[in-house]
Amino acid sequence: MAVGLNPPAKLAAVPGIKLGIAKAGIRYKDRADLVVLSLSEGSTCAAVFTKNKCCAAPVTLARSHLATAPVRALLINSGNANAVTGEMGMRNAEQSCTMVAQELGVDASQVLPFSTGVIGEQLNMTAIASGIPQATARLDEQNWLPAAEAIMTTDTVAKAVSVTVKLADKLVTITGMAKGSGMICPNMATMLAFVATDAALPQTLLQECLHRGVNQSFNRITVDGDTSTNDALVLMATGKSGAEITDLSSEDGARFYQALESVLVQLATAIIRDGEGATKFVRIDVRNAESVEDAKAIAFSIAHSPLVKTALFASDPNWGRILMALGRADVSSLDMSRVSIQIGDVDLIIKGEPAKTYHEALGKQVFSQAEIDITIDLDIGVDNFHVWTSDLSHDYVSINADYRS
């Protein structure tokens, strides 16, 4: 069960964006598993993709199409990743884009494909061919929540959020949805995310917004340290509100970016809260490092440690595991005599020495909480970095052992 996460109650439509959903039967029976998203003419689009060298056919094709023509549609399927599927996998991705293009009256190069699910199996093209006309016939601006449900795999909760922001005299909407639960690690994570706004931004500025926002959100999450073959995040701007942004350093530009970053952070942390088998939502905050790179290395060393994560699951205040993971990080500037560590508001280590106020009952109390903050103060510089992670439970093993059965 997700930690402190409920399905979204209400999502705002984004003028210029329509979504259609179908029960195609790609892998799942009797549930929606295919989404077509259409963008109005004149929209701009930006994206970031996985850095996994075994990237899936839809990732390769989406990158190519994004660089070729203005985007007019997205095709998203769950249940099958179309990854490591060779030439046939690429042909299937291309054929899928052609089918959408024919339904919408656009060019196939204007369609971006996205897939999530089992790796190494060919797409069920009969199901795809059946589902696309169903989805395009149901295109509607109000379909964000059913679309968020349709892209789920091992997720237990749909992940979507809307915010509005006033820019000059115009109200701008930002709505996004994401899926992801396991195989989560930066660059990016095993996730798909789609965010849209009715503000108007040139493509280069939209891409800048996305890169900045991803580094503050999706590149700060990890469940298990594994990076997927299919990760993608798309940001779309339709311009339908009439609010134009040409400079992020302007008052309106800064206000828009902060709203966008808020959406991205909420979506990214929702993925961690719904991490496979997660019972704890954990923020690891490394402060006063010599460099951001050092702080990042330490934060992820702790977040990736199976011993730290299993102790968190057991609510076991075995803080020696945190010290172990901190010390193994590839950071030459670390001086343990200056390090202080807190769990919540409980001091564990002060300047390299066990805190005199600490006792096991205090540790047990804070480790038993569903949401835990771990703070590492290196006291050697001014740079900071934080990550969000989860614990590692019996259910994580069971979910991944049974995933294909």
Token pair for residue 216?
Answer: 């503050």
> What pLDDT is stored for residue 190 in this prediction?
54
Q: How high is the pLDDT of residue 38?
A: 98
Query: Contact at 8 Å (CB) between 214 and 174?
Result: no
Indicate whether 329 and 359 sit together in one domain.
yes
Instruction: Please report whether residue 160 resides in a domain.
Output: yes
Say which of 154, 175, 190, 238 is annotated catalytic. 190
Same domain, 303 and 169: no
What is the side-by-side order of every strand in the sheet holding 192-197?
Answer: 44-49, 232-237, 192-197, 170-179, 159-167
Identify whether 142 is part of a domain. Answer: yes
The per-residue pLDDT string of the chain (405 residues; one tens digit each, 9 = 90 and over) reads 689 999 898 899 999 999 999 999 998 888 999 999 999 999 999 999 887 667 789 999 999 999 999 999 999 999 999 988 999 999 999 999 999 999 999 999 999 999 988 888 999 999 999 999 999 999 999 999 999 999 998 888 999 999 999 998 999 999 999 998 654 454 434 589 999 999 999 999 999 999 999 999 999 998 765 556 678 899 999 999 999 999 999 999 999 999 999 999 999 999 999 977 789 999 999 999 999 999 999 999 999 998 998 988 888 888 889 999 999 899 988 999 999 999 999 999 999 999 999 988 998 999 999 999 999 999 999 999 999 999 888 776 776 666 544
Query: Which pLDDT does position 227 carry in this prediction?
Result: 59
Segments forming the whole domain that contains residue 44: 17-273
- Asked whether residue 316 falls in the same domain as residue 351, the answer is yes
What is the domain-level CATH number for residue 322? 3.10.20.340
- 313 and 249, same structural domain? no
Kindly state whether residues 196 and 319 are assigned to the same domain.
no
Confirm whether 207 is domain-assigned.
yes
Residues 250 and 361 in one domain: no
Which of 233, 250, 273 is where one domain is finished?
Answer: 273
Of 246, 273, 300, the position where a domain reaches its end is 273
The answer to whether residues 321 and 256 belong to one domain is no
**Do 221 and 249 reside in the same domain of the chain?**
yes
Beta strand spans in 42-87 (E) = 44-49, 73-80
Residues 290 and 268 in one domain: no
Can you give the CATH number for the domain in which 83 is found?
Answer: 3.60.70.12
389 is catalytic: no
Q: How many Cβ atoms from other residues are within 10 Å of residue 403's Cβ?
A: 13
Q: Report if residue 9 sits inside a domain.
A: no
192-197 and 232-237: which strand pairing? parallel
Same domain flag for 196 and 221:
yes
Q: Give the C-alpha separation, 393 to 277, whole Å.
A: 6
| Consecutive H or E run containing 126 | helix 125-137
Write the CA distances from 191 to 177, 263, 267, 372, integer angstroms: 11, 15, 10, 24
Residues pairing with 179 in the sheet: 192
Strands 17-22 and 34-39: antiparallel
31-66 in b/e form (b: 16+ CB < 10 A) is ebbbbbbbbbeebbbbbbbbebeebbbbbebbeebb
Length of the chain: 405
Q: Residue 336 CB: number of other CB atoms within 10 A? A: 13
Residue 183 forms part of a structural domain: yes
pLDDT digits (tens, 9 = 90+) for 317-350: 888 899 999 998 999 889 999 999 999 999 999 9
If one counts the domains in the chain, the total is 2
Please enumerate in sequence order all residues whose Cβ is within 8 A of that of 203, keeping only pairs 6 or more positions apart, or say none: 44, 45, 46
Q: Please indicate, yes or no, if residue 5 is contained in any of the structural domains.
A: no
In a domain, 268, yes or no: yes
* HSE-up (13 A, CA, CB side) for residue 17: 28
Is position 389 within any domain?
A: yes
Does 384 lie in the same domain as 304?
yes
- Which residue type does 6 have? N
**Given this model, what pLDDT does residue 405 score?**
43
The single-letter DSSP state of residue 36 is: E
Which among 207, 238, 273 is the end of a domain?
Answer: 273
- Whole-angstrom distance, CA of residue 326 vs CA of residue 348: 14
CA distances from 201 to 67, 112, 163 (A): 17, 20, 17
Note whether 259 and 316 are same-domain residues: no
Collect contacts of 322-330 with beta carbons under 8 A, ≥24 apart.
Answer: 322/348, 322/374, 323/349, 325/301, 326/298, 326/301, 326/302, 326/376, 328/301, 329/294, 329/297, 329/298, 329/301, 330/297
In terms of DSSP bridges, do strands 221-222 and 383-390 run parallel, antiparallel, or are they unpaired? parallel
Contact (CB, 8 A) for 219 and 187: yes
